[in-house]
Structure 1
Amino acid sequence: MEFYLAGQWQDRDDRIEVINPANGEVIDTVPKASADDVETALNAAVEGAREMAKLSGYRRFEILRRTADLMVENREDLARTLSQEEGKTIHEARTEVDRARQTIELSGEEAKRLTGEVLPLDGGEGVSGKLGFTLRVPCGVVAAITPFNFPLNLVSHKVGPALAGGNSIILKPASDTPLVALKFVKLLLEAGLPERGISTLTGSGSTIGSKICSDNRVRKISFTGSQEVGEKICHAAGIKKVTMELGSNSPLIVLPDADLDKVVNAVVASGYANAGQVCISAQRLIVDESMHDELMQRLIPKIESIVAGNPLQEETQMGPMVRESDAVRVESWIQEAVSQGAKLACGGERNGAFVSPALILETKPDMKIVNDELFGPGVAVSRARDIDDAIHMANDTRYGLSAGIFTQDVDSAVRFAKEVQSGNIHINWGPMWRTDLMPYGGLKDSGLGKEGPKYAIEEMTESKTVVIHS
């Protein structure tokens, strides 16, 4: 495929292969953007920002509404493309397309609701005869850098709000999964988006990402990815608005009064979806020691029954990791934990980019599989003495994106909600849950700012105060 730059689909001699992780085959190639391409994109985006700002909120709504309709019409093609380049099962891919459609739809609705407020200026001492109000205006040029694991919905979470807010956008999708993003751009243009409202550059983040983020013409950056890369972007950004959706090693606490059937279902759903390649995947299972053994007896057979294989086959429940190198890393982390005293209850075997769903028992806080972000199909289990111990273990991390607890005790649930240092709190479900309209973002090293169309638009616009003197 070609990338879309400055109002034209363009090719380059230097190209990047897009690999199907399930079989190692090349699906397609995309151009490798250069520093000159970034400069062209920035110039076009400045012009595009002026065009977008002139569109009424209703016109922006119409474009996004039509895009959502086109996503429905192209659902199966988008899903198969997504599945082939990322390794997500076809069922997961269809769900992602449906979620992305909703994200674009929600963004379009919010385009009609951008508003300011009337200011009570006469509440100031000695103030009279003044009328004050605020206006919400576009930032201008937005840069969006997206990851491989949700290559359509996370693109939609950045592109939809940016356009709804009246901005132009430069999109840099992950090099492993650019195809579905490029197909999405085609749908936006078919829906009537101004030609310079968006540019999409494919290529190395180190080559083009830093140049985009450091340029003063970019007024807002939205990034989803690792904490290490996010920190580099923040250093390069200078004085501009940033939203950082970064990593996590999300905990799930299980107290003695938990419904174990619900716990088992939540661990399987939260720990192994998309082969564990989800920022809010349940990585740390913290279980009260009084019912640890019973839960493991119920949980292990469910994990062992997960069907892994060709992601395009309807019966497959878990596909490969996006790269074989990531599968090698996950395998090595599991083996390292076992060498340090952990016990492998099931899974953990690697075959190419596939890693069988793993459950690792008797883990300790200093093990890499607990302390860092695994981002793979493995759940690390630790024992807790009581709720005090469990909350301490949940907070014993530099991350804070999402956390869950199972308990029927309202006091324990409220205490968990107040004391656990996480941006998203789930009671009686796992940490891997999100509906696309909710505010979503992390604490500590898990990031800055919020996503969800309504909240992202607030971060992609500016507020101006107007005072009329009479």
Structure 2
Amino acid sequence: MLQTILKSADAPALLGGVWLTAGPTAERIGPYTGSVVSRARVAADGDVPTAVRHAHAYAKRMARLAPATRAGILAAASRLAAEHRAGIARLIALELGKPVRDGLGEMDRVADTFAVCAAEARRIGGDLLPVAGWERGVGDTALTYRAPAGIALAITPFNAPANLLAHKLGASFAAGNTTLVKAPPQAPSVSAAVVALLLAAGAPVEAVQLLHGGGEVGAALCAAPEISVISFTGSAATGAAVARAAGAKRLVLELGGNAATIVCEDADISEAAQLSARTGYSNSGQSCISVQRIYVHRSRFEDFVQIFTDKVAGLTVGDPLDPATDVGSMVDAEAAARVAGWAADAAAAGATITTGGRNDGATLLPTVVADPPPDAAVVTQEVFGALVAVLPYDDFDDVIATCNASRYGLQAGIFTTDVRKILTAWRELEVGGLIVNGTSNYRLDHVPFGGVKDSGFGRESPGCMVDDFTVVKTLILRGMSIWGEQ
């Protein structure tokens, strides 16, 4: 099935171990090509309860797979991801307008993610508890182990559809669960390819089911009482809706961001500008940790803006299938027009657009907005597009407070060699992670990743996710003690 998905325009659903193409469909129009690039078999009436019923039956079968067996399959999936990186990167470019260069990088991360999930499967264990340290526990022995949660629901976004699905599906499989995948409507073929890849690696058909459709499909899945844990990546508003629909279920929510990067007076301005240009516009800025706000010490502000503008203006914009392209299209024309409108609003309020500011359909020219007012949308809202705002600051404590004024708190960056400032920023910034001498847009897939405030809760590295996808089960042996009985 993997080869079929890579070669065709069909994105089948997977229900009860059967790949389905017949039934209701939805076409995906490529944002760059403007033509149909894939066709998804969307969920029909009755598909959600059928998938949940199958999952309920599959959970026991999956829980019986030994961790070593799960690890071997995930290691094979890692190898297959590397083998098929070009084919899936092409699908990413067609469905999302993401440059194939970035898609290849995403597939390298998919291979790494599955490999890390394999390692985490081998580490699953438990504890021997110090039960005899208290008088009532004398004569007893107590142990725990981490058991599969049962049924996991993975709801994935469009911006990194392959790697974020690999995180959720790989960690859930490592934990011994069966997984229901709700794919993003913008990337149905990519999602189907990743699911097919895991099955091609040897996962049993009971491991996963895949449904396509809109928010109503996700809401119905979230509300199903049989679901044990939900892992969702997307906007803060949708995350709140997921929580409401889910009720009393375990949730891992990785939501929006408004990422800030601070450039201190001692920073290497050229290096900071170059890294900011590279990471502020990858995937057209459609990342929750993409560089959105850069605060530069006033003594270096003008120099930074000039160098940064030159670097951004030099980015190659064009066909996402061209290996030379740095910036492709955004997810659709409406998104590009929204960001261009926000730039125009900032300019009308006194900011300077030093480059870009225009869109051609779904393609937004990489845009730099210098010194916008602090209440501009490009400062206060999540842009999620090919735009970076650059603002001056005078006092370090004040810029920390300014960064924290956002309702989001996912990740931040800082350029400095001052250890005191680094430690102060790590302590004071209200974010889940801080990148030193790098921008906010940097992630290692085996390192805890997640936010605070409206950026969600939980951490999305395979090790942390295995904890979320398992439950602690306790065994007490009364009258049997390894500790002594007096």
Class of the TM-score when normalised by the shorter of the 2 chains: over 0.9
Q: How does 1:87-166 map to 2 (within 5 A)?
A: 87-166=97-176
Unmatched tracts of structure 1, length 5 or more: none
Pick from 178, 184, 193 the counterpart of residue 194 of structure 2: 184
Q: Which amino acid aligns with 1:23?
A: T
Q: Distance in 2 between matches of 1:140 and 1:229?
A: 24
Q: What residue in structure 1 maps to residue 5 of structure 2?
A: none
Q: Distance in 2 between matches of 1:80 and 1:203?
A: 22
- Where 2:400 maps in the other structure, the secondary structure is helix
Q: Distance in 1 between matches of 2:117 and 2:203?
A: 14
Q: What residue in structure 2 maps to residue 59 of structure 1?
A: 69
Q: Distance in 1 between matches of 2:203 and 2:136?
A: 49
User: Given the alignment of the two structures, is residue 379 of structure 1 paired with residue 388 of structure 2, yes or no?
Assistant: yes
Task: Quote the RMSD (CA, aligned, Å).
Answer: 1.1
- Where 1:313 maps in the other structure, the secondary structure is coil
- Where 2:228 maps in the other structure, the secondary structure is strand
Q: What residue in structure 1 maps to residue 455 of structure 2?
A: 446
Cα-to-partner distance string for 1:247-292 (whole Å, 9 max, x where unaligned): 0010001111111122112211221111000110010011111111
User: Given the alignment of the two structures, is residue 267 of structure 1 paired with residue 292 of structure 2, yes or no?
Assistant: no
Pick from 302, 306, 322 the counterpart of residue 313 of structure 1: 322
* Maintained 8 Å contact 2:38/2:188: no
- Where 1:152 maps in the other structure, the secondary structure is helix
- Where 1:462 maps in the other structure, the secondary structure is strand
Q: How does 1:164-313 map to 2 (within 5 A)?
A: 164-205=174-215, 207-313=216-322
Instruction: Give the structure-2-normalised TM-score.
Output: 0.95
Q: Distance in 1 between matches of 2:475 and 2:206?
A: 30
Q: How does 1:17-28 map to 2 (within 5 A)?
A: 17-28=27-38
- Where 1:163 maps in the other structure, the secondary structure is helix
Unmatched tracts of structure 2, length 5 or more: 1-9, 480-486
User: Given the alignment of the two structures, is residue 413 of structure 1 paired with residue 422 of structure 2, yes or no?
Assistant: yes
Cα-to-partner distance string for 1:49-76 (whole Å, 9 max, x where unaligned): 1111011111111211122222222121
Cα-to-partner distance string for 1:195-244 (whole Å, 9 max, x where unaligned): 12111001112x21111001110000000000000001111111111000
Q: What residue in structure 1 maps to residue 482 of structure 2?
A: none
Q: Which amino acid aligns with 2:238?
A: V
Pick from 465, 472, 476 the counterpart of residue 463 of structure 1: 472
Q: Which amino acid aligns with 1:49?
A: A
Report the CA distance between 1:126 and its aligned residue.
4.5
Q: What residue in structure 1 maps to residue 7 of structure 2?
A: none
Q: What residue in structure 1 maps to residue 3 of structure 2?
A: none
Report the CA distance between 1:123 and its aligned residue.
2.0
User: Given the alignment of the two structures, is residue 344 of structure 1 paired with residue 319 of structure 2, yes or no?
Assistant: no
Across the two proteins, how many residue pairs are aligned to each other? 469
Q: Distance in 2 between matches of 1:67 and 1:133?
A: 33
What is the identity percentage for the equivalent residue pairs of Structure 1 and Structure 2?
Answer: 37
* Maintained 8 Å contact 1:359/1:378: yes
Q: How does 1:427-442 map to 2 (within 5 A)?
A: 427-442=436-451
Q: Distance in 1 between matches of 2:31 and 2:183?
A: 17
Pick from 389, 397, 413 the counterpart of residue 388 of structure 1: 397
Cα-to-partner distance string for 1:63-112 (whole Å, 9 max, x where unaligned): 11122222222121111111111111111011101101110111112111
